[in-house]
Amino acid sequence: MDCGEKFVFECKKRGCKTPYGEGLKEAVADIDDIEVIGSGAFSYWRGLTHWDYMYHLGPKECGIFLCLLRRLKELTSKK
């Protein structure tokens, strides 16, 4: 696992100013690599639950997960 580094790189390459901030939906929609999206989802979850000790998921956090999981669903249904 790369701790989400490749996900962050790919998002920034597509104009996202912060890894899980403005422009995320557009960046994620443009990424076709399942491993990169999966790594981003896992790293975000790990960051919230392990490093940030944030166990309450608000609308923003849920929206990020939904964005990532929907993209994973799209990518895996093509196969």
At residue 73, the pLDDT reads 96
The C-alpha atoms of residue 72 and residue 55 are separated, in whole angstroms, by 23
The C-alpha atoms of residue 39 and residue 54 are separated, in whole angstroms, by 19
At residue 75, the pLDDT reads 95
At residue 54, the pLDDT reads 66
Q: H or E segment at 17?
A: none
What does pLDDT average to in each consecutive run of 10 residues of the chain (79 residues)?
A: 83 88 93 94 86 76 94 87
pTM: 0.86
What's the domain range around 10?
5-77
Instruction: Please provide the size of the chain in residues.
Output: 79
How many independent structural domains does the chain possess? 1
The C-alpha atoms of residue 78 and residue 40 are separated, in whole angstroms, by 20
